[in-house]
Amino acid sequence: MTTPDEDMLITGAGTAIRGVAGPAGLLRPAVPEASADPTASLTGRGLRYKDRATKLALCAGRDALADAGLLLDPGLAVPGESVGVVVSSNYGNLDTVCDTVSAIAAHDYTATSPMALPGTASNVTASWVAITYGLRGVNLTLCNGATSGLDAVSWARVMVRAGRVRHMLVIGVEPANPVVAELVGPTFDGAAALVLESAETARERGATAMARLGRHARRETHARAVGDVLGGLLDDRVDLWCRPETAPGDRVESAEEQDLTALLGPASGALGVVQCVTGAAWLRERAGGTVLATTQGADAAAATVLTGAGAAL
């Protein structure tokens, strides 16, 4: 499947990453150490029953909705059924699952907490985001390996295009915790989020665009994915390349390169969304250009193009 060019805009972005002060912070060369935990900004009851991924996603999601002008004080500026959610994460609920089997192994089923039950299903984060912000549209959780973040952005476009919702909140999140550390090793701890909507919707509500979403491809090799999204673009010129976690066999010629894995750690299912938020922030600062984001995993590689919003509105 290929996704044809169409006018789809990123109108807001947010991050919940230690040491990164919002999307523009992703353009800096290094992340300061010993920074505050972004989830400290969450308030309200029931936080102790939410897993780390959910808390991170709630922060980034809130900031992206607010940045897009969709979340005001005290609530959503548009009908809840017009906003959908897609969360991308591979390791989000591993802690709940593994801590539960450990508790059962050490004693029996009575050693578990009933509050943990929803967290055994991998959609727990998307569900809390919907509950917290009143988002009643389509609600998706994509667990698609290394390409999951870029794939989630692509599914968000399909949902808007199919008319299921007017606005999509896309969140990429991975938590660092003892379970993930033992199973996977050191990882990124954070979330990034963006709001996607059609140019028409953005125009109608007077929203400001950060970037325009271009083509997406998921292919058997990195080279094919890149070739398919760049084909036909102006000289195939890339101004900023957000590269994958592992080195691809082929290189992309670009004026600038951003290695978010070097900056933040292996971000797995969050990476693609972090890349798109980085690209959107870069395009907002420069008011134009072409950004290419690529990810690759054991089963496929994905590529997504972002361009300046220019005269979109």
Which stretches of the chain bind other proteins, using CB under 8 A? 1-3, 80-81, 85, 90, 93-94, 96-98, 100-102, 104-105, 108-110, 112-114, 116-118, 120-124, 126-128, 130-131, 133-145, 148, 151, 155, 158-159, 161-162, 164, 179, 182-184, 218-220, 297-300
Per-residue tokens: 179: 């379970």
DSSP-based helix, strand, coil % in the chain, nearest 5: 40, 25, 35
Q: Return the number of other C-beta atoms located less than 10 Å from residue 32's C-beta.
A: 11
Closest distance between other proteins and the C-beta of residue 182, in Å? Answer: 8
- Cβ proximity to other proteins, 220 vs 250, nearer residue: 220
What is residue 75's DSSP assignment? S
- Cβ proximity to other proteins, 24 vs 140, nearer residue: 140
Per-residue tokens: 20: 């990164």
Closest distance between other proteins and the C-beta of residue 273, in Å? Answer: 15
Pairing of strands 301-308, 290-296: antiparallel
**C-alpha distance across the termini of the chain, in Å:** 28
Closest distance between other proteins and the C-beta of residue 235, in Å? Answer: 27
Place of tokens 């969140």: 171
- Cβ proximity to other proteins, 43 vs 110, nearer residue: 110
- Cβ proximity to other proteins, 23 vs 119, nearer residue: 119
Per-residue tokens: 240: 């900023």
Closest distance between other proteins and the C-beta of residue 87, in Å? Answer: 9
Closest distance between other proteins and the C-beta of residue 76, in Å? Answer: 10
- Short-list 256, 80, 255, 295, CA closest to 172: 295
Distance CA 132, CA 56 (A): 13
- Cβ proximity to other proteins, 26 vs 176, nearer residue: 176
